[in-house]
């Protein structure tokens, strides 16, 4: 909340130094959003939300603010959330954006390799609208466009971690579950710990090509205890990370073929001997999307994570702690069918890991009542044979969700 507030005032300051603006354009929506566990009926989400979007342009300058005002019926609290708030400055070849902004890189469908920017995984697992999966980053982004290549540079001095499911509402695997004393250490807000990301991209012969580089931190925390056998305090922290990758996407086999890869350089554990930090990994994604018939599309993805120095990881792992395979595989399937002039949508998204032997299903129905109002309903279904795998730990958290939205 502190970073959101500081960004909000930064945007207002930048706006104030410009000449008098015209009346800004205001849009938004009102939404009621609820989800509950299928077993037991405990509420995961219960909020009423108003989102306001303001945008205005003046020659080469524009500003945009997207903010939520919401009431949480579970916690009986009300709050605000600055989703985005930035100032754009444009020249014929250079675009500069300053403030809180949602950044999306890479070409995966709900699989992120070179998109190292913060996510809200809890929002996805609890049935919130998919747009709430991505979180804003407080920083500056520069786009430079040439005929030969385009470049994008991002600097983020204020670290924003992923928002993960919590034990207050979800069932989580925790190797230190009996230790109540917890602390979290985030990176410093200084130049040395500023996250930096760089992208080079171009469309060549109908192919979208991109190279990526990132220096910063894992956004999902690692854990370490003061003692493995008798811990009294557990510390969550964010190890340093470098990512170097590439992607290509284009037409093929009567559809769209996507290929993306990245090397995760775990700066603090390059030799794999520290079990409290992730080992270096190579990640690879192959995707295919095609319209089979009118208003029906199918998307398939095959994704792998290859752990380097796996032998060192196994040797250093404390007794009784769950191990990880050298290779983790994940297969996804997306089916989408539209009816009634595309006002009714049936969709299914499937995550299945043959190596972890777990899965996650998202069947969903959305109906656009008119141009302004829509109603959406669906399920989040988890299963797995091992409570220590990513989806398997949520086996007891299957839930049903619905939200109604009125746009204006």
pLDDT tens for each residue of 241-272:
999 999 999 999 999 999 999 999 999 999 99
Residue 201 and residue 152 in contact, taking contact as beta carbons nearer than 8 Å: yes
Architecture (CATH level 2) of domain 2-407: Beta Barrel (2.40)
Inform me whether the pLDDT recorded for 11 exceeds 80: no
pLDDT number for residue 24: 74
Count of C-beta atoms within a 10 Å radius of residue 67 = 19
Instruction: At 262, list the tokens.
Output: 């990245």
pLDDT number for residue 21: 53
pLDDT in tens, 120-177: 999 999 999 999 999 999 999 999 999 999 999 999 999 999 999 999 999 999 999 9
pLDDT number for residue 59: 87
pLDDT number for residue 129: 98
Mean pLDDT of the region 34-48: 97
Measured distance CA(331)–CA(303) in Å, rounded: 6
Given pLDDT bands bounded at 50, 70 and 90, which one contains residue 4?
very low
Cα angle for residues 330, 333, 337 (degrees, 5° grid): 165
Domain boundaries, the chain: 2-407
Inform me whether the pLDDT recorded for 76 exceeds 60: yes
Inform me whether the pLDDT recorded for 3 exceeds 90: no
Prediction pTM value: 0.93
Using DSSP, state whether 73 is helix, strand or coil.
coil
């Amino acid at each position: 909340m502190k970073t959101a507030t500081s960004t909000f005032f930064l945007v207002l300051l930048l706006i104030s130094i410009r000449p008098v603006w015209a009346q800004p354009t205001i849009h938004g929506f009102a939404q009621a959003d609820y989800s509950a566990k299928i077993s037991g009926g405990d509420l995961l989400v219960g909020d009423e939300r108003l989102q306001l979007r303001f945008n205005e342009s003046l020659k080469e300058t524009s500003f945009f603010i997207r903010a939520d005002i919401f009431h949480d019926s579970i916690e009986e609290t009300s709050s605000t959330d600055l989703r985005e708030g930035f100032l754009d400055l444009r020249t014929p070849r250079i675009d500069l954006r300053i403030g809180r902004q949602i950044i999306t890189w890479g070409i995966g469908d709900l699989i992120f390799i070179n998109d190292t920017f913060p996510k809200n995984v809890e929002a996805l697992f609890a049935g919130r609208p998919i747009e709430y999966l991505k979180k804003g980053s407080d920083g500056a982004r520069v786009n430079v466009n040439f005929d030969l290549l385009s470049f994008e540079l991002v600097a983020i001095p204020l670290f924003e971690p992923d928002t993960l499911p919590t034990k207050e509402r979800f069932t989580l695997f925790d190797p230190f579950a009996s230790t109540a004393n917890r602390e979290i250490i985030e990176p410093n807000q200084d130049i040395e710990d500023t996250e930096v990301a760089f992208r080079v991209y171009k469309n060549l012969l109908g192919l979208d090509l991109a190279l990526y580089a990132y220096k910063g931190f894992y956004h999902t925390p690692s854990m370490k205890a003061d003692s493995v056998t008798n811990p009294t305090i557990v510390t969550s922290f964010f190890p340093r990370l470098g990512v170097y990758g590439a992607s290509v996407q284009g037409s093929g086999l009567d559809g769209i073929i996507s290929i993306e890869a990245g090397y995760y350089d775990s700066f603090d554990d390059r030799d794999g001997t520290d079990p409290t930090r992730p080992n270096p990994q190579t990640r690879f994604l192959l995707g295919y999307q095609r319209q089979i018939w009118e208003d029906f599309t199918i998307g398939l993805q095959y994704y792998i994570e290859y752990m380097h120095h796996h032998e060192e990881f196994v040797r250093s792992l404390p007794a009784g702690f769950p191990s990880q395979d050298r290779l983790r595989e994940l297969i996804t399937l997306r089916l989408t069918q539209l009816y009634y002039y595309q006002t009714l949508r049936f969709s299914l998204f499937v995550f299945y890991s043959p190596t972890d032997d777990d899965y996650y299903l998202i069947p969903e129905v959305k109906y656009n009542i008119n141009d302004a109002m829509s109603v959406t309903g669906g399920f989040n279904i988890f299963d797995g044979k091992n409570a220590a795998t990513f989806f398997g730990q949520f086996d007891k958290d299957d839930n049903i969700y619905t939200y109604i939205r009125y746009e204006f």
